[in-house]
Amino acid sequence: MFETVLVANRGEIAVRVIRTLRALGIRSVAVYSDADAGARHVREADTAVRIGPAAASESYLSIERLLDAAARTGAEAVHPGYGFLAENAAFARACAGAGLAFIGPPAEAIELMGDKIRAKETVRAAGVPVVPGSVGSGLSDERLVEAAREIGMPVLLKPSAGGGGKGMRLVRDEALLGEEITAARREARGSFGDDTLLVERWVDRPRHIEIQVLADGHGNVIHLGERECSLQRRHQKIIEEAPSVLLDEPTRAAMGEAAVQAARSCGYAGAGTVEFIVPGDAPSSYYFMEMNTRLQVEHPVTELVTGLDLVEWQIRVASGEVLGPSQKDVTFSGHAIEARVCAETARVSGDRVDFLPSAGTVLALREPAGEGIRVDSGLAEGGDVGTSYDPMLAKVIAHGPDRATALRRLRAALAGTTVLGVDTNVGFLRRLLAHPDVVSGDLDTGLVDRDAASLVPADVPREVYAAGALRAQARLSEERAEGPSGWADPFSAPSGWRLGGTPAWTPHHFRVPGQAPVTVRVREGEVAVGEAGPAGAKLLPDRGAGIALEIDGVTHAFAHAAGPRGTWLARDGDAWHLTPHDPVAAALTGGGGAAHAGTLTAPMPGTVTVVKAAVGDEVAAGQSLLVVEAMKMEHVIAAPHAGTVTELDVTAGSTVAMDQVLAVVTPVAPLEES
């Protein structure tokens, strides 16, 4: 067994690996970039080494700096986690060359399975069924189009070199193939440094089911059952569970054996996952998609139903041990479901929802606990969440004797999860888990995208604005009472005192991102939100970090944190950022007016990667003008109407803040007032 292991990763997976290292009595070494100097994984490790600036290419992706950190700390092995260099064959070889054990599969297996084209050919030869698709590597755009026509629409474009949904494009219209191939190549090149694509038949309403495998260096390979990963958005998993309600025992056994054969076909060792696409109406007709040659994000659900620590077995196998459990030793208990907590903002546009990366400082944090609840997290109060890395912050996992219990526990755990200071998807996940089709188990990979708009609240509840205004009013009173003079000017009282004793309204103006500004009027014992009439309201006694108010006889409680740009409130997994709004300044600048309806702003903090227009260009409604990227996610900025580009304030490579003005498109004719 190793004495010291370097964890070549960050965030929640680094914290997770360190936990097992500590349990095994192994000294842990963390690495960190300048952006992560105060991160939780740095604090929890026995030793930590700075490896460079925030840019991943100069820190977490620098093989030279990682190997230097290992040498300086006396590490004997490296655990790559997932993401970054976890599936990089060159890194595995470099570790071996430096005399370090790579806690993962052989470089040859990574290389083979990392090339989706070669992987399909290899497992097909081993008797594993594969999805019909293009044959051969390095296909030109023209050949990809020809292959798509031969397969028949719709088709799925996929990068050969990567995963995680990045660069994948579902194409239903043959006329769009050229444009989508260009976009898929660009994203694949940016994410993986390789723009090689393949094309596969798209299975309508498919299920995404994967099999966890474990193998040692002595020829032993077992599987640990399946995980259902069909709840995805933009091909990225957000909810995973074990077992799948779709499979019967014969299909489960057949898929498990196919996964074992796939692992044997590439000489695999360690923990890995074989992913299958499964028609929901014919689960026995499963197809191999790819093999992930690393630990999966969703590994906790397998750990909870099998009782095995997959990180521990990765370490033991890498140290040369024989795999302990045999296939007959693997047993399953109950049901487990995982939800991925990500830093993102949901923006609704018609019936579509864009999940955009968010950033900020964690002002307040409460993570759930209780029977059957596990949290894998990299979060800590005071920590900064930026856009340099993957948006996943934590995972909340629930285990129970059956699926209904696990679902109920997970919904309750998400309701008890509070992250203030940065937008997250916690409330969205909680509503998704209550979706009738999710509850019944009638899943497919398109469910989230189809129904996402119904899972994002259209409006901010009035009690949120009321709580913000009452808290602001109370702060004004506190500041007035804390003044240096013993006398208080009655005309400065926020209660609106006037001659004659008649209380007047005090207005408070707020804006929640993605919503129109709202004015809340307050006077003693009453509040009026927007155009609504007055309602009886009052703050209740202080609850520490929270706010409680009574409005129309109903009590509402919120978690609360004050930030540099306003107030954060949260309850039941949802959070709202109330920022002060100056209606006079907005009127002077034309904010929200028709003349400025063509102002295009950054929907997220990030980097402008593509600029397709110039000042003076005539553009059509919906025409793509710019591309903004954050956390390896692209967002296209399109013209809201036909017109002329009259301002363009960025170039390719520009770093932009959320809501920063990017361009202005002046309409051909004045827009009618709505």
DSSP per residue, 140-194: -HHHHHHHHHHH-SSEEEEESS--TTTT-EEE--GGGHHHHHHHHHHHHHHHHS-
Checking if the pLDDT of 224 tops 80, the result is: yes
First to last CA, the chain: 70
Neighbour-count burial for 323-342, b at 16+ CB within 10 Å, e otherwise: bebeeeebeeebbbbbbbbb
Pairwise CA distance, residues 378 & 175, whole Å:
44
According to the model, what pLDDT value does residue 673 have? 46
**E strands, 496-623, in order:** 506-511, 518-523, 526-529, 535-539, 546-551, 554-563, 566-571, 574-580, 599-601, 606-611, 618-619
* CATH number given to 4-103: 3.40.50.20
Residue 603: band (very low, low, confident or very high) from pLDDT cuts 50, 70, 90: confident
Residue 672 main-chain phi, psi, to 5 deg: -70, 145
| Cβ contact 434:451 at 8 Å | no
Residue 171 main-chain phi, psi, to 5 deg: -120, 120
pTM (two decimals): 0.85
pLDDT digits (tens, 9 = 90+) for 388-430: 898 999 999 999 999 999 999 999 999 999 999 999 999 999 9
- Delimit the CATH 3.40.50.20 region(s) of the chain: 4-103
Residue 240 main-chain phi, psi, to 5 deg: -135, 150
Which H or E element spans position 479? helix 462-481
Which H or E element spans position 319? none
In this structure, of 170-179, 226-235, 598-607, the range with the lowest mean pLDDT score is 598-607
Angle between helix 249-265 and 116-125 (nearest 10): 110
Task: Assign domain 462-581 to its CATH architecture.
Answer: 2-Layer Sandwich (3.30)
According to the model, what pLDDT value does residue 65 have? 98
User: CB within 8 A of 461, min separation 6: which ones?
Assistant: none
CB atoms within 10 A of CB 172: 9
Pairwise CA distance, residues 537 & 524, whole Å:
8
pLDDT digits (tens, 9 = 90+) for 348-399: 877 788 888 899 999 999 999 999 999 999 999 999 998 889 899 999 999 9
* Fold exhibited by the domain 594-667: OB fold (Dihydrolipoamide Acetyltransferase, E2P) (2.40.50)
pLDDT digits (tens, 9 = 90+) for 305-349: 999 999 999 999 999 999 999 999 999 999 999 999 999 998 887
* Percent over 90 (pLDDT), the chain: 74
| Cβ contact 643:668 at 8 Å | yes
According to the model, what pLDDT value does residue 262 have? 97
- Which of 219 and 660 is assigned the larger pLDDT? 219
Residue 495: band (very low, low, confident or very high) from pLDDT cuts 50, 70, 90: low
According to the model, what pLDDT value does residue 494 have? 56
| Cβ contact 485:479 at 8 Å | no
Average pLDDT of span 550-571? 94
In 3D space, the residue among 184, 169, 318, 325 whose CA is nearest the CA of residue 234 turns out to be 169
- Delimit the CATH 3.30.1490.20 region(s) of the chain: 132-201
| Cβ contact 449:469 at 8 Å | no
- Helix spans in 193-335 (H): 249-265, 299-306, 310-318
pLDDT digits (tens, 9 = 90+) for 18-76: 999 999 999 999 999 999 999 999 999 999 999 999 999 999 999 999 999 999 999 99
210 class by beta-carbon count within 10 Å (0-12 exposed, 13-18 middle, 19+ buried): buried
According to the model, what pLDDT value does residue 492 have? 53
Specify the amino acid at residue 177. L
- Delimit the CATH 3.30.700.30 region(s) of the chain: 462-581
Record the tokens describing residue 417, joined without a space. Answer: 């999860």
- Which of 598 and 141 is assigned the larger pLDDT? 141
According to the model, what pLDDT value does residue 588 have? 54
Pairwise CA distance, residues 173 & 631, whole Å:
29
Pairwise CA distance, residues 552 & 533, whole Å:
12
Residue 273: band (very low, low, confident or very high) from pLDDT cuts 50, 70, 90: very high
Checking if the pLDDT of 632 tops 70, the result is: no
Question: 132-201: CATH homologous superfamily?
Answer: ATP-grasp fold, A domain (3.30.1490.20)
According to the model, what pLDDT value does residue 160 have? 86
Average pLDDT of span 293-306? 98
